[in-house]
Structure 1
């Protein structure tokens, strides 16, 4: 089993960019929550390891949110009755990822009132960390109208006063006191400028040592984000997982082994990462997409490519994932690459993606029977879109691949 040494801080920062896509109107929400929580933790003299932990939790705190309509509910009011659901989902996703499972308890309760946390059987550390995420999250909701403007400095006292009025009910008094102290500095607010935010996150990453991840850990990290993507719609449930299984088996049938085989599966899991930017109204639309909607959909593979470049800079994973909507004629998107520019692994993931999508119910059609899917794939081969050798390989064991695609 191969190992990869990755910069975990940079990986979390990059992957949080995919979560930022859900917000659309409030890009970098997770990063702002992370940095504000970090500074409040520093004011409380938490050890550096604890500060970095809350920084990473802040960047991932909304990993249970995939739908834009849910994100808007969460960012329009200080409390929302539906907030609990995404906190539970996020905690479940993180618990299933051993590398990040230690963050699950505070994510689970990051929308819980302080007075409720005091009644729950948990240690004080978890209680404070969860409530600090809640506080930083709500600070950001209140500051959003003033972002990137010096007017935040005039609004800051009112934000502090509004939150201090909730001491002992929504928020822990000691957290609010620490927030009031750091908020007295103009720098606390001005550091939320997007350029400064990215610079500060990179600087903090210098304190985080690289970690060696075996393939299982890499796959579980990828699965965490594939589950967020697939939760966009009931129609795409487990799509990424099944594409990854089909692609891995196809690659194995071509004799691909070792690290390359593992990377094919990870690329399959992450191929739709950029789709978090796409509204679920577009994904679930039963009819034909408008020109504008199609443009929105077409950018998702480019977003996938760019985000994965930051996580897997020294591998082919960004290319193999980002090219899944290219075709051999050079008429796909987003790069318009021809077959000559596409690795076999790109062609495999492209076929796996189409095959699984056709085998799955979608809002505009029911799942297709295997013979009809094979007819469709061979038609695409005949017009020069798909690699004939890949489609032929799939056809040899079509029943097995159909079972993988359907989850049977």
Structure 2
């Protein structure tokens, strides 16, 4: 698998948007403003790329706040914003981003001090200005270009703690019609895809696997009932694939499918996802939607075509009794069967807020019952049985 960094960022935006559309919009507009400033300043291309990447995920820490709603109004709320920079830096830990990117995420709310002008790099101040400028624009009347001079003057009067060259550059940008028209666009994500500086930055399967760790953290943090579920399914499915003799490349791609298998849950109401008691028929119907939504999301990213069925099919069963398509044994390849077993085993053995996970042997008994009922693949479950302790160790417990 070869996937561009831009495709990975697009996937991130697609996942965040249904949960917090205002936050997704804010991060996209901050990215566009940051990119515009960096290019107008004629910064070296490696710095432009780092600024673009950091701006794309600068507020990622807000997703760990367990906030039920993040809107344009509370994006400036001190309680919500408290420590989100440090949380964001922690969320990207373990991912091979340049250290400059991690620094920009950690320090994107710093203020420029004329007494210590070099305390932080200019790149950090670019994201700070872009972030505050977008939040300011959200309070302005639409048709920005009509009031462009007034907007810039009032913004800089209220926010003057930026390096002088940034103030000059923002004023220059404000003279370009396209700058304002793009900021008003309802399809800014499409604009960013056209002008991105990272389109030619390619990731192989191992690189993208690291990026998927960030995606899984977002999906799992959406619901406190599944805080480490996606990571555990990835671990378990990869371990089973290893034990079944899959190549290292295929193990990595199966692990990616594990990370992504539940991304469709961002379209399911939290009240349904986090209900402790028995679901009603209507609620169960909503839950069943998530695997189809996973398909809709992954289908938008062409390099993920091979692993998409593996992620989507984790609730399909050999007898045709699963969902969303009611596939049968002849339709389900081995990676899809592994994913189904990994999902069930993880769900049974991981801790949830309302119950402790089952012991490994008890979970194995249930898997064997599913094999007897022609639901799960017997060969895959037999691998789990023969290496039960090793597989059980792959499930994270918090």
Q: Classify the TM-score, shorter chain.
A: 0.7 to 0.9
Q: Deviations over 1:24-49 (max 9, x none)?
A: 46654432221122223334443444
Question: Are residues 1:83 and 2:81 paired?
Answer: yes
5+ long unaligned stretches in structure 2: none
CA RMSD of aligned residues (A): 3.5
Q: Which moved more, 1:285-294 or 1:151-160?
A: 151-160
- 1:163 is matched with which residue? 155
Mapping for residues 261-272 of structure 1, pairs under 5 Å? 261-272=251-262
Distance 1:260 1:361 in 2: 29
Question: Are residues 1:107 and 2:99 paired?
Answer: no
Instruction: Give the aligned length.
Output: 397
5+ long unaligned stretches in structure 1: none
Residue 30 and residue 278 in structure 1: after superposition, are their counterparts in 2 closer, same or farther (change >3 A)? farther
Please state how far the C-alpha of 1:275 moved relative to its aligned partner. Answer: 3.0
Mapping for residues 382-401 of structure 1, pairs under 5 Å? 382-401=372-391
Please state how far the C-alpha of 1:23 moved relative to its aligned partner. Answer: 0.8
Distance 1:74 1:195 in 2: 17
- Pick from 233, 256, 263 the counterpart of residue 273 of structure 1: 263
- 2:291 is matched with which residue? 301
- 1:319 is matched with which residue? 309
Residue 69 and residue 258 in structure 1: after superposition, are their counterparts in 2 closer, same or farther (change >3 A)? closer
Q: Deviations over 1:292-333 (max 9, x none)?
A: 654554443334334444556265222211222222233433
- Scaled by the length of structure 2, what TM-score is found? 0.83
Please state how far the C-alpha of 1:190 moved relative to its aligned partner. Answer: 2.9
Please state how far the C-alpha of 1:261 moved relative to its aligned partner. Answer: 1.7
Match of 2:180, SS state, is helix
CA contact 2:4–2:198 (8 Å) conserved in 1: no
Mapping for residues 217-296 of structure 1, pairs under 5 Å? 217-289=207-279, 293-294=283-284, 296=286
- Scaled by the length of structure 1, what TM-score is found? 0.81
Match of 2:158, SS state, is coil
- Pick from 124, 129, 133 the counterpart of residue 132 of structure 1: 129
- Pick from 353, 361, 372 the counterpart of residue 343 of structure 2: 353
Q: Which moved more, 1:340-349 or 1:130-139?
A: 130-139
CA contact 2:229–2:347 (8 Å) conserved in 1: yes
Match of 1:163, SS state, is helix
Residue 83 and residue 207 in structure 1: after superposition, are their counterparts in 2 closer, same or farther (change >3 A)? closer
Distance 1:182 1:98 in 2: 32
CA contact 2:317–2:328 (8 Å) conserved in 1: yes
Question: Are residues 1:53 and 2:69 paired?
Answer: no
CA contact 1:66–1:232 (8 Å) conserved in 2: yes
